[in-house]
Structure 1
Amino acid sequence: MNLLETLLDQLNGMADQAVRMLPSLAIAVVILIATSIVAKFTVNIANILIGKTELRPSLRTLIETLVRLGVWLLGLMIAAIIIFPDLTPASLVAGLGIGAVAIGFAFQDIFENFLAGVLIMVREKMRIGDVIECEGIIGKVEHITLRETHVRKLSGEVTVVPNSILFKNPVEIFTDKEQRRHDVVIGVSYDTDLDQAAEVIRKAVTDLEEVDTEKGIDIFAQEFNSSSVDFLVRWWSGSTPRAGWESKDKVVRAIKRGLDEAGIEIPFPYITHTFKERVPLGESPGESA
């Protein structure tokens, strides 16, 4: 009987406490409703202010999320203090700090990618549509989120790259500018007049529409190869991989055609074969006739 009475007393005490907390709970619900309204209003104001800038869409989404999160954290803190009067803003902040540290250790990789995503969006060097290369991944950037970046490979597949990889490793951006320099090596025979060959190559490349002649065309006699003297030909054209391949195709065809018309030979590499003399059994190589 004593156990039953104790249990009933505890239940009655909990019921009385719940009844006394009803006004506080009602106020907390009103505060949460007001927080929802204020969050929407604040986000709309942020959208109006952001609309006057040229921020990328992913960065705008990040700002909206942070504004909404900040308003909701403030509203939840006020509601918690009303429901539990013993709580103070200092104790709540301290509790949030300890909780954040614990969550940070538990989800270290997630937060690392999140912070890397924020920094990638802020620095604005890598844009949607850029063709990049990082850690052997080459493709076009299609989407940047807070945790990962979607890179469409040149062969069509999509690679989901964690933002921490793009932030901690060197990233080569091919399309940072509208044009970049391309090059090809061409060899001519040793009996060729190198000045004439260079002039033929320059004229062939200059006549192409895909080549930006204003930035100059470089033709350097590079080295003495096994069967040819090699020229390094460099020119400026479109920065995308497709534009580079198309311009190189045009350049190679034009150089080949120009050298053929000038009677300049593009030699094959010398191939050395070693033949072994067949010797009958019992004879040395010098004894066979």
Structure 2
Amino acid sequence: MTHRWLLAQAGDEIADVQEQAQSWIDRAVDSLPRIGIAVGVLLVMWGVSVGVRHLLAYRWRRTRTPSFAAVMSRLVGWVIVGLGMLVALVVGFPSIDPVDMVAGLGIVSVAAGFAFQDILSNLLAGLLLIVRQPFISGDQIEVDDHHGTVEGITIRETSITTFDGRRVLIPNRDVYQGAVVIQTAHPAVRSELTVGCSYDDDLEVVTATALTALRSCPGVLREPPPEALLCEFGESTITLELWFWSDPHQIEVRRTQHQVVLATKAAFDRAGLSMPWPIVTLQAGPSMSRALGDAPDAAGDDDPRDRDDAGPSPSAPGGDPGQDSEVANRPS
């Protein structure tokens, strides 16, 4: 009796499983058209996103920077694909409530924000840099002791090429939160050169000669005009500062500085002006006097006993009559 009851129970469970599986199969068959439509919607939206992305990139490259065109067009494409996925889910599975889906995505986004905080901060900083455009590709900047030319701004990092040919990738968060020096933000930058002139020279002649040398350099801009200013009294020279403006790019700044050094040296030489070396004055105190007194005589390297033994050294016969000789006077 017990065996029959167990067999009946097993038969009922098997029948329930078969019924449930058949129900799932029927639902799957019924939902195949909707799934097909959802896949079609997703493919169409993906194609639309590709077309829109290329169109926006083409238009923005003509009016904005390449980095802005590449990043913003890609973001628009991702937004279109995301909307296509939502529409495809709603079409393929009508039981899904769009409101619940959006709420679930909000919860997931909060969790992802905590899990990927660094990535999202770099993403947001990159978007702000691209929209605000404090600098563009080709600008020369300085960030965290890195000097170079901007190659581009991506979603995660800013790429620069240093002046010695190395590529540096700087996270966008560091660029946005830190201090950035943009060397090419203005059409000209000022350089300074310090020259020491002698106290004996005419200072009016010195400044006029320096200004003439500055104006003769092809890399020095006429506006703003160069200036030569006497600024302080040094230990051995009077300090003269040369201010001049040039093209902001690093190579042009270095070339102009080279021209200014050559022109200033040549102008000072022609005018007879000197740039003295530092002069050091030594004051002989008691300790130095004792040190010099204890030092051996530079001219008397021989032992004094050797001089006593040698006796007087009169002029040898046949010697050079013009040669002086020291003879000791002794009583006879």
TM-score after normalising by structure 2: 0.78
- Aligned residues: percent identity? 31
- Correspondence for 2:130: 121
- Correspondence for 2:32: 22
Larger RCO (CA within 8 A; separation ≥ 6): 1
- Correspondence for 2:46: 36
Find the aligned partners of 2:246 and 2:55 in 1 and give their Cα distance: 44
- Correspondence for 1:270: 279
Unaligned runs of 5+ in 1: 281-289
Amino acid at match of 1:145: T
Equivalent residue in structure 1 for 2:250, among 241, 250, 255:
241
By how many angstroms is 1:231 displaced? 0.9
* Alignment of 1:195 onto 2:204: yes
The aligned length equals 279
Secondary structure of 1:152's counterpart equals: strand
Amino acid at match of 1:222: C
* Alignment of 1:89 onto 2:103: no
User: Would you identify which runs of 4 or more consecutive aligned residues in structure 1 move more than 6 Å?
Assistant: none
Equivalent residue in structure 2 for 1:162, among 140, 165, 171:
171
Find the aligned partners of 1:48 and 1:194 in 2 and give their Cα distance: 61
Find the aligned partners of 1:131 and 1:43 in 2 and give their Cα distance: 29
Secondary structure of 1:190's counterpart equals: coil
Find the aligned partners of 1:73 and 1:96 in 2 and give their Cα distance: 11
Amino acid at match of 1:86: S
| Range with bigger deviation, 22-31 or 240-249 | 22-31
Q: Deviations over 1:43-78 (max 9, x none)?
A: 355356536x51111211222212212221221111
Amino acid at match of 1:122: V
- Correspondence for 2:60: 50
* Alignment of 1:213 onto 2:222: yes
What's the C-alpha RMSD, in Å, of the aligned pairs?
A: 2.1
Secondary structure of 1:213's counterpart equals: coil
Question: Aligned in 2, Cα 1:38/1:244: closer, same or farther, shift over 3 Å?
Answer: closer
Secondary structure of 1:119's counterpart equals: helix
Equivalent residue in structure 2 for 1:131, among 127, 136, 140:
140
Amino acid at match of 1:50: W
Amino acid at match of 1:78: V
Secondary structure of 1:221's counterpart equals: strand
- Correspondence for 2:311: none
Find the aligned partners of 1:129 and 1:11 in 2 and give their Cα distance: 64
By how many angstroms is 1:196 displaced? 1.3
Secondary structure of 1:172's counterpart equals: strand
- Correspondence for 1:100: 109
By how many angstroms is 1:197 displaced? 0.7
Find the aligned partners of 1:212 and 1:71 in 2 and give their Cα distance: 51
By how many angstroms is 1:138 displaced? 0.5
Find the aligned partners of 2:56 and 2:163 in 1 and give their Cα distance: 37
Secondary structure of 2:63's counterpart equals: coil
Larger-Rg structure: 2
Secondary structure of 2:196's counterpart equals: strand
Kept in 1: contact 2:56–2:69 (CA 8 A): no
Unaligned runs of 5+ in 2: 1-9, 295-332
- Correspondence for 2:160: 151
By how many angstroms is 1:9 displaced? 4.0
TM-score after normalising by structure 1: 0.88
Find the aligned partners of 2:175 and 2:118 in 1 and give their Cα distance: 14
Amino acid at match of 2:81: W
Question: Aligned in 2, Cα 1:94/1:222: closer, same or farther, shift over 3 Å?
Answer: same
Amino acid at match of 1:178: P
By how many angstroms is 1:82 displaced? 2.2
* Alignment of 1:12 onto 2:22: yes
Q: Deviations over 1:105-135 (max 9, x none)?
A: 1111111111111111112231111111111
Find the aligned partners of 2:60 and 2:253 in 1 and give their Cα distance: 37
Amino acid at match of 1:232: E
